[in-house]
Structure 1
Amino acid sequence: MELFDSLGYVITICGTISFAISGAFAAMQKRLDAFGVLIVAFVTAVGGGTLRDLIVGDTPVFWLKGANYSLLIILTALFSMFFWKKLKSLKITLFLFDSLGLGFFTIVGLQKGLSFDLSPGICIALGTITGCFGGITRDILLNNIPLIFRKEIYATACIVGGLCFFLLSYLGMNIALVEIISVIVVFVIRIISVKYNFTLPRFY
């Protein structure tokens, strides 16, 4: 149980860092000032988790229960601003960290649903909300069409990752390994779908 709790915390931290970086780089693409970059990074990192906690009635929401998450997001955003020139492409970096954050936060949302003894379907929905809503808010603030509403496979990756989580869990696999594999599944689906231009069918 201790390993389960510690791994869940590590996944939450990794997701927070990944989405904070993706938010910061998205804001820098739009040439926002330092304050704007901090705000977008913060909203991207906590948006999904905030909505999730409000839905299940877990208040105050997770980032209000201590200063750790806020400080982590601020430091990550500052790091992104100071060292962005070391990276070859803002667009590639944004994509990679957004995909990583999507995987990490999908599992965080699933675990929150499980802690409230919710059904697998609801847990997967919470995981999808946790993974997607921060990016939706980021894109709206930056006047972009949110990724989830484009032709790219986005929320579907969360759903498949969630199904993988429950399938492997029912097969009796170690929970830590289940979490890691599920994160990788979400990440790989995003990478492959963009690389090979896989999309969901359209009926118009």
Structure 2
Amino acid sequence: MLGGNNFPYASVMAILNANYMMYRLKDSYKIMFLGSKSESNEIQYCAHEFIIDLRPFKNVGIEAIDVAKRLQDYGFHAPTMSFPIPGTLMVEPTESEDFAELNRFVESMLSIREEIRAVEEGKSDGAILHNAPHSLRDLLETSEEEWTKRGYTREQAGYPLPFLKNFKNWPSVARVDDTYGDLNLLCTCPSVEEVAASQD
């Protein structure tokens, strides 16, 4: 679709998008592996992706998985987590996301950073991050008594930023035990024996 002459612009846009997002986030998160500053160049750049180091937040009990799951409440599937370094998110916006979507992601990450800051300052226990994602069922069916114990509102859980009130991708389930799920496969397909018998 781009043609031979325009094809290189896909890479140019991917690099511009990554650097735009990285620069908006670099004062709030540690960004890893940026190019070196030089005497003639005070600006550090990334390539088509950048890595956010979330390991410094472990000292207040916030893990990369908490940030990744919380992003679902903002309508985003998390970027690559813990690759190539454990405790990080690798953000790769590509050339295909529009400017508004880049900004929505950045605003979401900045909002999550404020939630982490509240934990750092002792204003929150981090439950909003530890309980993420919050499904629609969770918001609607959890009793008021149970919800009050969480220490944050349903609105903070489900609509942390105003843009989510107009359009929201709801996670289908709330927090699951990832390790248990990885170690205990629950297959709903027929057994090998049943499939073999049906072939006769």
After TM superposition, the score normalised by the length of structure 2 is 0.28
Larger radius of gyration: 2
More strand by share: 2
More helix by share: 1
- Greater relative contact order (Cα < 8 A, sep 6+): 1
